[in-house]
Amino acid sequence: MAVTTDNLAGAFIAARRGHKLVDIATLPVPADVDAGFAAQAEVNKGMGYPLAGWKVSLGEGGRPMAGLMQGPYLKSGDTYRGVHGAELRVEIELAIRLGRDMPLRPGQPYTREELIDHCDAALVGIEIVESRIADWTNVPFPLWLADAMGHGGYLLGPEVPFSIFDDVPALTCTVELDGDVLYDRQALHANGDPLVTALAWANRSVEGPLGPLKAGQIITTGSLCGGVLAPTVGPVVARLDPVTAISFALAEQGD
């Protein structure tokens, strides 16, 4: 197990430092989800990433999953630079920012209301999905988890009322790339209420190697539009109507 974790973490660290992709055929696959978490933690440690944020989801059997979002954290108007040849996807999301620590509370799970009470802001966000794996069409989930579930970067949009979580279907997601509309549909979250995933992570049974939930961290709750593939780089406008539009650009390293 240790050899697999060390080899896998080393491959991802080298890819991140060298701004390169890794052939999936050369990567050892973690034995299970726990090994995937362990490898992800080793990558974060090796890169010296801050514990700045989380992307969360529910795995098989409803088990909470997470990838650390190390950044870059961008704002509207900025440029995200991906690795040459990487597949980039755009996800319109809702996020929360913790205003207080949320230590594990075994036997006394947090409620949705308590989760909101621990936050000091709700925000619109755009996640850029960019895996370090060259072809991640059929990636085993523990390997995907080791790569922080493909997290590339995150654009922080405006703060919004927490009531936005109560009626997601009232929103519309639109993604335009260089003037072409790639996506234009009603907002939809896989779990209905986007806060389900964040609450599940706050109520996980053990802290695990990724660390605790701390004040100031961002938790992004999952896509409202799936993963919209960007067929090329260029200027992007992502809209969550009627709330906001976020403009940014996709480019390759060195452009």
pLDDT tens per residue, range 23-50: 999 999 999 999 999 999 999 999 999 9
pLDDT in the model for residue 109 = 96
Count of Cβ atoms closer than 10 Å to residue 126 Cβ? 25
**Mean pLDDT across the chain:** 95
80: phi then psi, degrees, rounded to nearest 5 = -100, 125
pLDDT in the model for residue 253 = 86
Strands 89-98 and 180-186: unpaired
Which token pair is 13? 């660290």
pLDDT in the model for residue 3 = 61
pLDDT in the model for residue 215 = 98
Spacing of C-alpha 146 from chain mean position: 13
pLDDT in the model for residue 70 = 87
pLDDT in the model for residue 1 = 47
Select from 152, 189, 178, 182 the least CA-distant residue to 58: 189
d(CA 234, CA 80): 10
Q: What is the mean pLDDT of each run of 10 residues along the chain (255 residues)?
A: 79 95 94 95 94 94 94 92 95 98 95 98 97 90 96 96 97 97 97 96 94 97 97 97 97 81
What pLDDT, in 10s, does the model give residues 77-101?
Answer: 999 999 999 999 999 999 999 999 9
Tell me if 160 sits within 8 A of 120, measured CB to CB.
no
Enter the DSSP assignment of 171. Answer: -
d(CA 124, CA 95): 6
Topology of the domain comprising 2-252: Fumarylacetoacetate hydrolase; domain 2 (3.90.850)
Number of H helices, E strands in the chain: 5, 13
pLDDT in the model for residue 143 = 96
